[in-house]
Amino acid sequence: MKIAIVGIGSIGGTLARRLVTAGHEVRVANSRGKEAVSTFAKEAGAVPSDLKDVFNDANAVILSIPQPAMAALPKNLLAALPASVPVVDTSNYYPGLRDERIPALEDGQTESVWVSEQLGRPVIKAFNNILAYSLENLGKPKGGEGRLGVAVAGDDAGHKRLVMQLVDEVGFEPVDSGSLEDSWRQQPCTPAYCCDYTADQMRPALSAAVKGAAAQKREAFNTQLPVLFAKKPSHDEVIAFNRRFNAVN
């Protein structure tokens, strides 16, 4: 399969490596041009590309860039992409930590619904509720004991099936988390967010999410997260913090 990835940060870069290892042809690009991704592409076994060319003949597209950057993408960037090709949004909204505040999201709009509006086409939400460390190091073959789950939300059944296949191929159990509107259940500060849960643990965590509760936790999250990382926590300590903080009170 030919897969185009825009963004080679912690999630996008890790996905590029994992998908190359799984046997796919991966093209990578970012907003700074082909030369800016060439070193990474050589190391990962991917093909460097300019943003305008990365989608050529792609069977799937993964956008792994911050949400404010979605709105800054060239208009009609995906206009030539066939409707049969799924576009995956891995992004999360971190107002007050990394991102400028986006009024529609502050008013409660589901993050990936907003992303879909910026792009002018439907998206599938996936790979946003797993940490980069977990994605890189904790994948297991299908049927492996304790295999971790990754939530996948979207409105197109065919697109969702293909993305769930990719989740499986990189070592994780795909969990159907509902429609794109439902993807608020896997956003930051919700019970299923970045807790290294198996699929059986993730499903009730998704169901336990309370609409609007995550937004009420953001300021506490913004305060506590820098304190946590100042202590240089282990991965297990980060997961313990997330499970504790994200739990329904």
Three-class DSSP labels, the chain: CEEEEECCCHHHHHHHHHHHHCCCEEEEECCCCHHHHHHHHHHHCCEECCCCCCCCCCCEEEECCCHHHHHHCCCCCCCCCCCCCCEEECCCCCECCCECCCHHHHCCCCHHHHHHHHHCCCCEEECCCCCHHHHHHCCCCCCCCCCEEEEEECCCHHHHHHHHHHHHHCCCEEEECCCCHHHHHHCCCCCCCCCCCEHHHHHHHHHHCCCCHHHHHHHHHHHHHHHHHHCCCCHHHHHHHHHHHHCCC
pLDDT value for 136: 97
**Three-point CA angle 138, 144, 148, nearest 5°:** 45
Write phi, then psi, for 63 (nearest 5 degrees): -105, 115
Whether residue 201 is contained in a domain is answered as no
Per run of 10 residues, the mean pLDDT along the chain (length 249 residues) is 97 98 97 94 97 95 94 89 97 87 94 96 98 98 96 98 98 98 97 98 98 92 91 97 93
Whether residue 10 is contained in a domain is answered as no
Whether residue 245 is contained in a domain is answered as no
Q: By residue range, what is the domain housing residue 147? A: 66-183
pLDDT value for 99: 79
Whether residue 59 is contained in a domain is answered as no
Whether residue 168 is contained in a domain is answered as yes
The CATH number linked to 134 is: 3.40.50.720
Whether residue 162 is contained in a domain is answered as yes
Whether residue 124 is contained in a domain is answered as yes
pLDDT value for 98: 81
pLDDT value for 29: 96
pLDDT value for 75: 84
pLDDT value for 31: 87
Whether residue 52 is contained in a domain is answered as no
The answer for residues whose C-beta is within 8 angstroms of residue 227's C-beta and 6 or more apart is none
- Give the span between the Cα atoms of 180 and 187, in whole angstroms: 12
Number of folded domains in the chain? Answer: 1
